Amino acid sequence: MRILVVGGGGREHALCWAISASPLCTKLYCAPGNAGIAQVAECVAVGAEDIAGQVALAQRLKIDFVVIGPDAPLVAGMADGFTAAGIKVFGPSKAAAQLEGSKSFTKELCRRHNIPTAAYERFTDLDKAIAYIKAWGAPIVVKADGLAAGKGVIVAETVDQAIEAVRDMLSGNRFGAAGASVVIEEFMQGEEASFFALCDGEHVLPMVGAQDHKRAFDGDKGPNTGGMGAYSPAPVFDAAMQKRTMDEIVLPTVRAMAKDGTPFKGVLYVGVMIDAKGPRLVEFNCRFGDPETQVLMMRLKSDLVPALIACADGGLDHLDLRWSDEAALTVILATRGYPDAYKNGSEIRGVAEAAKVEGVEIFHAGTKADGSRLLANGGRVLNVSAMAPTVEEARERAYRAVDLIDWPEGFCRRDIAWRAVGRKP
Ligand code: AMP
Ligand code: GLY
């Protein structure tokens, strides 16, 4: 099969790494890709959000199967574009991608089907939103209804903060159309985990859980980011928690989507908050997590390609995936300043040396080659990933590799997997 992966981040590097290892893949392309992806796929300079451009590229390259990585093109309907062109695609339709693209769509679905999640209301009117915030009190969570590049969620610690956030969103200044409607919800206590389930519209094949680290600095301090590191398995997401998440959240959702005529085909990213009562839904995403995919692909022992194809074609009920019992962990190296303003173009040295550390795999999230030099080209730049029998050893390996990388403009967290390291079962 000739396969095209759409995207150019660390998630897409990990997907390309897994797909390129499949005997089913005869030729792999990635658009736009990056300097690391170029080691396993042929990269073509077409933007990840350019629907017409990606469809034309797939036609020109005679692609048999397309895998869409990021959320924005899915929410904009890229999968429908490929389907209309008669090209098989991994990723949900625009209608099904509403599970990520519209917070109120998902909250309403949860309400109708009794899926456990935070209490909420949706508002387009500022005065009504303010009255609701005052009645609830703080802490309280304010979310732009639409897609806001991972920045549309404000966990407000005071009523004033919450009011400022709604004002910002409803005025259209901060998130444009994505903030024209807001969801205001109860603040949930607990421990967060990410879980992934492949769906073919009808059947669900559970993958495994992971934990992400959203804050920029050690000790979960600093601004929210796209994710500064991840590891899998996550002790809090054990087999019992996975079963409850499947029964109480994933299966009712997939059934409801099918019944409503918008079957979900692709990977459902289930963000859950876990407390003594069990899992509650924080959010769905309609694509693989970044950086969770990096650790998932390291632990996956089966061929990824047949599972992705089954999401498009059906038959996931006849498939099984095998996973390593070992721990995988990834540390994000980011450009100083991220998630705020930062500069592209600084040189990174020592990556080849670092990649030689036992059990280590380095995925590129935002890099560019300049002759033989490797340059930073993004906020999140490298994902230094490691596998080992225990999470402690995986962490030691990953940071040993990090320390071999010479990049004065970069920074990373030093405490990835702190919740698991030294935790008693
Ligand atoms: P989201 O973009 O929906 O994942 O939200 C980003 C982050 O905000 C989540 O990963 C949580 O850490 C936090 N968050 C979102 N909703 C809630 C909630 N209702 N209660 C507590 N934390 C939340
Ligand atoms: N790791 C968070 C995300 O992919 O949205």
Nearest ligand 1 atom to the CA of 283 is: 3
pLDDT, tens digit, 9 for 90 and up, residues 148-160: 877 789 999 999 9
Token pair, residue 48, equals: 């990840």
Q: Ligand 1 centroid vs 388 CA: distance in angstroms? A: 30
Ligand 1 centroid to residue 153 C-alpha, Å: 7
Say which ligand is closest to the CA of 189. 1
Closest atom of ligand 1 to 214 CA is 10
pLDDT of residue 423: 74
Reference 280, options 196, 190, 205; nearest CA is 190
pLDDT at position 425, please?
57
Nearest ligand atom owner, CA of 275: 1
Tell me which of 3.30.470.20, 3.40.50.10330, 3.40.50.2000, 3.30.565.10 is the CATH number of domain 191-318: 3.30.470.20
Cβ atoms of 153 and 223 within 8 Å: the answer is no
pLDDT in tens, 366-420: 999 999 999 999 999 999 999 999 999 999 999 999 999 999 999 999 999 999 9
- Between CA 210 and CA 195 the distance in angstroms is 6
Give the residue extent of every domain in the chain: 2-91, 119-186, 191-318, 327-411
Q: Are strands 373-376 and 347-348 parallel, antiparallel or unpaired?
A: antiparallel
From 231, 311, 236, select the one nearest 266 (Cα to Cα).
Answer: 311
What predicted TM-score, i.e. pTM, was given to this entire model? 0.96
Helix 10-20 and helix 304-313, axial crossing angle in degrees, nearest 10: 100
Q: What is the pLDDT of residue 405?
A: 98
What's the rounded Cα separation, in Å, for the pair 257 and 112? 12
Q: What residues are in contact with ligand 1 under a 6 Å CB criterion?
A: 118, 141, 153, 155, 185-188, 192, 214, 271, 282-283
| Homologous superfamily of domain range 119-186 | ATP-grasp fold, A domain (3.30.1490.20)
Instruction: Convert the pLDDT of each residue in 109-128 to its tens digit.
Output: 999 999 999 999 999 999 99
Q: Name the residue with the closest Cα to ligand 1, atom 11.
A: 282
Ligand 1 nearest atom to the CA of residue 271, by list position? 4
Q: Which residues of the chain have pLDDT under 70?
A: 424-425
Q: Which two tokens stand for residue 403?
A: 């320390």
Residue 307 Cα to ligand 1 midpoint, Å, equals 29
Which ligand has the minimum distance to the alpha carbon of residue 151? 1
Q: How far is the CA of 11 from the centre of ligand 2 (A)?
A: 10
Sign of CA dihedral 398, 224, 276, 295: negative
Fold observed for domain 327-411: Glycinamide Ribonucleotide Synthetase; Chain A, domain 4 (3.90.600)
How far, in Å, is the centroid of ligand 1 from the Cα of 112? 21
What is the residue with the minimal CA distance to atom 5 of ligand 2?
289
For a substitution probing ligand 1, which of 283, 285, 419 has the most ligand atoms within 8 Å of its CB? 283
Asked if residue 326 lies in contact with residue 389, where contact means CB atoms within 8 angstroms, the answer is: yes
CATH of domain 2-91: 3.40.50.20
Q: Of the ligands numbered here, which is closest to the C-alpha atom of 147? A: 1
Token look-up 């991994």 returns 90
Which atom of ligand 2 is found nearest the CA of 291?
1
Cα–Cα distance measured from residue 89 to residue 66, given in angstroms and rounded to the nearest whole number:
5
Residue closest by Cα to atom 16 of ligand 1: 282
Note the pLDDT of residue 280.
98
List ligand 2's pocket residues with C-beta within 6 A. Answer: 212, 227, 285, 289-290, 292
DSSP 187: P
- Going by alpha carbons, the residue nearest to atom 5 of ligand 1 is 153
